[in-house]
């Protein structure tokens, strides 16, 4: 009870001070008014006895509360906990946000996580205050609110794009969650902003959306990384934007992402084969650009180390440049190992041109025809094709809902994959915030140049003080590599 009271008091202080840093990390349910608010809500602070704090909007809905029309608690970045934590509830939330419940149902979600649907529902209800169906319903409502605020799409199109089965179900959910009609919610959500019109030249599936992020955000660093690693024929980018195709459940799509001047976050234009894929596309962009990270907490923790403090001050809001698909990230990493970035881009461009037809080739295609295109030592080609064959026959499976230890273990059983590759992919694919690849040559060289231990063991011991943000420390060390350090990890 002592820990619960301390947590309540911490959250209540954040609510009383209207601290925007906590927006999206928890919700304040005010039972005297029947609404739930973000911590930074400008309304009069309620009395402690009238407040209950919830981890998710779905839990507030289950408690009979509606979203505050004044602070719009759903119009904020998501919780960083779903990457920071590695328990069942957090892993389930990653998959819920990726639309797994809509595509595969609760049984499919439970199967991916390795539990029965009954046990999963029990754990999520206990941990998050709502079961998987309620969590998916809340996610649909938030997607709908985003579309209402950002686009001129007709109400009926938004209903089905957000994943609702009927217009009536959509209207009922919006009324229950926001106590407003969709038209009223659209007007309320804009507050002076005009939605983006549908681009007639790009087809009915073209949408431009604002993706909120916690400040500070090193958007330039993210765009530079994606541009430096862009695969010819697949991706393009510079320090202000990035574009590429995606393969979504409803078919091929393309995305263009840019900074959103004057607003905290990014602007994304998505062109979809099926409008209902918009929620999945947004989820994958948010993960790839690490938009839900708690940048203030990360910078404060790493900046407390005198050695890292100047690096953090130079690049506030550093983010993990993630992947759009874990299998694609795996092959890109394997092809790029022990060669320069330029050589890796050339090899990957050949793979896309010869085997992908404009998209990144599937594991099945690489298993069947990879030897026709791949160049280099036979042992490396054998390893890449062997991984593809393991993915095809089910001996290897990668999923954003996997625990970190299981993810690394699955990779390390494959020929040609060592600890560096497993750590790097955990950062890129899972968004794992607490991984430091101590086998990386550039990281060790940077550490030594800064006066930190340059050996694996010494660096690992020193890095314990950076937990749970060791992945972000790794990013700073990569950025700070000495001039003579190799451009690619060993």
Q: What is the CATH number of the domain that holds 100?
A: 1.10.10.60
Query: Residue 284 domain-assigned?
Result: yes
Alpha-carbon distance of 277 to 289, in angstroms, equals: 18
Catalytic-role residue among 19, 23, 37, 292: 37
Query: Residue 301 domain-assigned?
Result: no
Do 286 and 207 sit in the same domain of this protein? yes
Catalytic-role residue among 74, 305, 440, 455: 440
Is residue 37 annotated as a catalytic residue, yes or no? Answer: yes
Do 96 and 168 sit in the same domain of this protein? yes
Residue 68 DSSP symbol:
-
Do 126 and 48 sit in the same domain of this protein? no
Alpha-carbon distance of 468 to 472, in angstroms, equals: 9
Alpha-carbon distance of 230 to 243, in angstroms, equals: 9
Query: Residue 251 domain-assigned?
Result: yes
Pairing status of strand 35-37 against strand 66-67: parallel
Residue 257, strand partner residues: 242, 268
Is residue 260 annotated as a catalytic residue, yes or no? Answer: no
Query: Residue 219 domain-assigned?
Result: yes
Q: Closest by alpha carbon to 210, among 134, 130, 294, 149?
A: 149
Tell me the chain's radius of gyration from C-alpha atoms: 23
Q: How far is CA 110 from CA 31, 37, 106, 117, 339, in A?
A: 33, 30, 6, 5, 40
**What domain range includes position 94?**
81-190
Final residue belonging to a domain, choices 129, 158, 190: 190
Q: Along the 490 residues of the chain, how does pLDDT read in single tens digits?
A: 578 889 999 999 999 999 998 999 999 999 999 999 999 999 999 999 999 999 999 999 999 999 999 999 998 999 999 999 999 999 999 999 999 999 999 999 999 999 999 999 999 999 999 999 999 999 999 999 999 998 999 999 999 999 999 999 999 999 999 999 999 999 988 775 545 444 433 345 689 999 999 999 999 999 999 999 999 999 999 999 999 999 999 999 999 999 998 888 999 999 999 999 999 999 999 999 999 999 999 999 999 999 999 999 999 999 999 999 999 999 999 999 888 999 999 999 999 999 998 899 999 999 999 999 999 999 999 999 999 999 999 999 999 999 999 999 999 999 999 999 999 999 999 999 999 999 999 999 999 999 999 999 999 999 999 999 999 999 999 999 877 544 444 4
Do 210 and 274 sit in the same domain of this protein? yes
Tally the domains of the chain: 3
81, 90 in Cβ contact below 8 A? Answer: yes
Alpha-carbon distance of 35 to 179, in angstroms, equals: 10
Alpha-carbon distance of 457 to 459, in angstroms, equals: 6
Query: Residue 142 domain-assigned?
Result: yes
Predicted confidence (pLDDT) per residue in 395-445, tens digit: 999 999 999 999 999 999 999 999 999 999 999 999 999 999 999 999 999
User: What tokens appear for 387 in the block?
Assistant: 């991984």
Instruction: Give the global pTM.
Output: 0.93
Alpha-carbon distance of 217 to 213, in angstroms, equals: 7
The CA dihedral of 302, 304, 310, 313, to the nearest 10 degrees, is 70
Predicted confidence (pLDDT) per residue in 21-48, tens digit: 899 999 999 999 999 999 999 999 999 9
**Residue that is written with structure tokens 């009536």 in the block:** 168
**Cα torsion angle, 257, 260, 265, 269, sign:** negative
Final residue belonging to a domain, choices 242, 271, 292: 292
Do 251 and 156 sit in the same domain of this protein? no
Predicted confidence (pLDDT) per residue in 241-270, tens digit: 999 999 999 999 999 999 998 888 999 999
**Residue that is written with structure tokens 């160049």 in the block:** 375
């Amino acid at each position: 009870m002592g820990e619960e009271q301390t947590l309540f008091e911490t959250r209540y202080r954040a609510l009383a001070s209207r601290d925007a840093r906590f927006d999206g990390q928890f919700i304040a349910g005010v039972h005297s008014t029947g609404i739930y608010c973000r911590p930074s809500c400008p309304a009069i602070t309620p009395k402690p006895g009238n407040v209950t704090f919830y981890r998710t909007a779905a839990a507030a809905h289950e408690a009979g509360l509606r979203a505050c029309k004044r602070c719009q608690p759903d119009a904020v970045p998501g919780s960083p906990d779903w990457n920071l934590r590695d328990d069942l509830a957090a892993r389930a939330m990653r998959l819920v946000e990726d639309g797994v419940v809509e595509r595969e149902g609760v049984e499919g979600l439970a199967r991916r996580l390795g539990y029965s649907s009954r046990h999963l529902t029990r754990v999520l209800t206990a941990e998050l205050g709502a079961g998987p169906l309620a969590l998916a319903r809340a996610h649909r409502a938030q997607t709908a609110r985003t579309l209402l605020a950002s686009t001129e799409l007709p109400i009926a199109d938004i209903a089905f794009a957000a994943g609702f089965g009927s217009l009536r179900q959509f209207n009922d959910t919006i009324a229950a969650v926001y106590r407003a009609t969709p038209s009223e919610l659209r007007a309320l959500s804009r507050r002076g902003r005009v939605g983006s019109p549908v681009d007639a030249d790009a087809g009915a599936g073209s949408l431009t959306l604002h993706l909120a992020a916690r400040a500070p955000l090193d958007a330039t660093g993210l765009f530079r990384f994606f541009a430096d690693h862009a695969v010819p024929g697949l991706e393009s980018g510079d320090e202000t934007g990035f574009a590429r195709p995606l393969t979504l459940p409803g078919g091929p799509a393309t995305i263009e992402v840019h900074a959103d001047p004057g607003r905290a976050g990014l602007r994304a234009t998505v062109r979809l084969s099926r409008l209902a894929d918009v929620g999945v596309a947004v989820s994958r962009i948010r993960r790839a650009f690490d938009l839900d990270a708690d940048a203030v907490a990360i910078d404060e923790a790493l900046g407390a180390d005198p050695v890292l403090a100047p690096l953090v001050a130079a690049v506030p809001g550093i983010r993990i440049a993630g992947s759009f698909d874990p299998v694609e990230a795996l092959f890109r990493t394997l092809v790029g190992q022990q060669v320069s970035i330029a050589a890796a881009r050339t090899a990957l461009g050949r793979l896309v041109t010869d085997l992908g037809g404009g998209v990144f080739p599937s594991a099945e295609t690489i298993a069947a025809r990879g030897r026709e295109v791949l160049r280099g030592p036979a042992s490396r080609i054998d390893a890449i094709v062997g991984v593809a064959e393991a993915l095809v026959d089910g001996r290897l499976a990668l999923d954003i809902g996997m625990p970190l230890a299981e993810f690394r273990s699955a990779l390390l059983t494959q020929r040609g994959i060592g600890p560096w590759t497993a750590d790097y992919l955990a950062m890129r694919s899972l968004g794992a915030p607490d991984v430091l690849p101590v086998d990386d040559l550039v990281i060790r060289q940077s550490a030594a140049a800064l006066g930190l231990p340059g050996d694996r063991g010494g660096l690992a011991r020193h890095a314990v003080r950076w937990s749970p943000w060791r992945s972000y420390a790794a990013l700073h060390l990569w950025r700070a590599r000495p001039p003579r350090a190799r451009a690619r990890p060993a």
